[in-house]
Chains A and B, each alone.
Chain A
Amino acid sequence: MIAKRNISVEVNGALRQAEVEPRLTLADFLRHTLDLTGTHVGCEHGVCGACTVLVDGRSARSCLTFAVQVDGRAVTTIEGLGPGAGGLGVLQEAFQRHHALQCGFCTPGMLTTLTELLNDNPDPTEDEVREVITGNLCRCTGYAGIVAAALDAARRLREGEA
């Protein structure tokens, strides 16, 4: 009999406590335990990037992270990226403007990955944007709209658009 473990995780700014099996992935913890279904699960072996979330501000595959490993840490999901109450952030608005999504399956992972990039590097080159999203597969857009949205959002954020 495997013992469950108690974990406390700050998820999108709110402290969440739960008793979890050690084998529960962070992705399944978010989706099934917390009902935060914005984090998408694609390949479940770390290749597609759809499940990317931020752990202490750093992008991570939530399918390759166990929930017990984020005990005491802060996790940000797609639900926590906007300004709240269903509004969109600067990067999300840029995705809409540049048609950077079609089916939307890769979008949560794209947005979390690019949020980290823009926090680290407010003025990335196109090559830097393309390099960082090599870890996120999109089968609809051909990436052009995503790259354009990231560069546009970077410019707007630098110019102080909140």
Chain B
Amino acid sequence: MKPAPFDYYAPTSLAEAAGLLARLDNAKLIAGGQSLGPMMNFRYVIADHLVDLGGIPEIAGIALAGETLRIGATTPQRELEFSDVVAQRCPLLKAALKHVGHRQTRNRGTFGGSVAHFDPASEQPMMCAAHDAVIEIASVRGTRRVPFAEFGVDFMTTALEPDEILAAIELPLWPQGHGWGFHEFARRHGDFAIVAAAALLALGPDGRIARASLTLAGVAVVPLRLREAEAALIGHAPEMAPIEAAADLAGAIAPLADIHASADYRRHLARILTGRALADAAARAAGRSVP
């Protein structure tokens, strides 16, 4: 339960960090260390070099740029949870973050670290999927921007190359007045989701659904956007019948089965939680408060 020996580096710029990562063999990046730490203590991960991103100001912090929320990779989950701009402009993210671990882990755990770690039951990659995020990636070869749909490759596997650093996440914001809903089932509050469902809805001038985003976590190797169910909502009034029809589509997926839950149980949760998330989103989009 003690990590294997490693050399430690604390670069103060992104360029310095990228240079270290390009030069060192078997190096790992550490930000908050709340996922990597347990893996190192268990010796699932044995790194020869640890490059700490915590001292690089250019990849920390939250900025509103037009209608995009730019989240520096090393921004702690706590900072997002208590951010006014997140509360006002990206309330789904705030709601989801309350389910990420515990106060002590959110104080140190970072948004970018979780996205790069890419646990299929984590709420943070899920938020990237829900918002069609763009991931900014840096290396000695320069900077590239990857749509989130191309970022997630497979179970715990992303498009990041070994010498690349996840520098920032850009979340395109939904219009003021949009509706949102988030529901999760876990064995205990703060545990990884068995299933989590997130919904975003925007109504057109006619009061009908003009835009929808439905995302599940915990059911597949990557966060799952429910495109068919989203399409089925468009043009309908935000009422129970179309919501139930969309929830039925969520309950028709082919989910993972593991020690925590069977595929049948996950299908059941997917339908129920999607219905609840959509009902909350519809109520908020229509200007009603949600308890």
Contact = CB atoms under 8 A, between A and B. Distances in A.
Interface in A107-139: 113, 116-117, 131-132, 134-135
Contacts of A68: 8, 10, 52
Contact of A61 (B8, B104, B189): B104
Contacts of A135: 101-105, 190
Interface in B227-249: none
Give the contact-size bracket for chain A.
20 to 34
Interface residues of B, number: 29
Interface of A: 2-3, 5, 21-23, 25, 28, 44-46, 49, 52, 55, 58-61, 63-66, 68-69, 113, 116-117, 131-132, 134-135
A23 B37 contact: no
Contacts of A21: 5
B89 interface: no
7 contacts: A21-B5, A45-B41, A61-B37, A61-B104, A66-B33, A134-B188, A134-B189
A5 B42 CA distance: 23
B52 A59 contact: no
Contacts of B158: none
Contact of B104 (A5, A59, A69): A59
Contacts of B108: 55, 58, 60-61, 64-65
Contact of B33 (A23, A65, A116, A117): A65
Contacts of B50: 22, 66
B2 A58 contact: no
B6 A46 contact: no
A131 B99 CA distance: 10
B120 interface: no
Contacts of A59: 103-104, 107
B5 A113 contact: no
A8 to B, nearest CB: 14
A116 B103 contact: yes
B34 interface: yes
A64 B4 contact: no
